[in-house]
Structure 1
Amino acid sequence: MNEPASNPGQSGFDFNQPTIIALLYLGSFVTGVSGIVGIILAHVWQGDNRENWAASHFTYLIRTFWIGFAASMVAFVLSFVLIGALLFPLIAIWVVIRSVMSILKAQKQEPMPQPETLAF
Structure 2
Amino acid sequence: MEQKSDVAGYFEPGGKNATLIYILYLANIIVPFTAIVGVIFAYLNRGQSSSWVDSHYTYQIRTFWIGLLFGIISALLTVILIGFLLILLVLVWMIVRCIKGMQLAGRNEAVPNPETWLF
Identity of aligned residues (%): 37
How large is the Cα RMSD of the aligned pairs?
1.5
Provide structure 1 residue ranges, at least 5 long, that are not aligned to the other structure: 1-13
CA distance in 2, matches of 1:93, 1:29: 11
Query: Which has more radius of gyration?
Result: 1
- Residue 101 of structure 1 corresponds to 100
Residue by residue, what CA displacement relative to the aligned partner does 1:94-120 show, whole Å, maximum 9, x if unpaired? 000000111000011100001111121
Kindly state the Cα deviation for residue 47 of structure 1 after the two structures are TM-superposed: 3.3
TM-score, with structure 1 as normaliser = 0.83
Question: What TM-score does the superposition give when structure 2 sets the normalisation length?
Answer: 0.84
- Superposed CA deviations along residues 52-83 of structure 1, whole A, max 9, x for unmatched, are 21011011111001000000110111111111
Partner of 1:111: 110
Per-residue CA shift, 1:11-36, capped at 9, x if unaligned? xxx96111010000001111112111
AA matched with 1:69:
L
Distance (whole Å) between structure 2 residues aligned to residue 87 and residue 47 of structure 1: 34
Taking the aligned partners of 1:71 and 1:92, their CA distance within structure 2 comes to 10
Aligned counterpart, 2:25: 25
Aligned residues: 106
1:34 paired with 2:34, answer yes
Kindly indicate whether residue 82 of structure 2 is the aligned counterpart of residue 83 of structure 1.
Answer: yes
Deviant stretches of 4+, over 2 Å: none
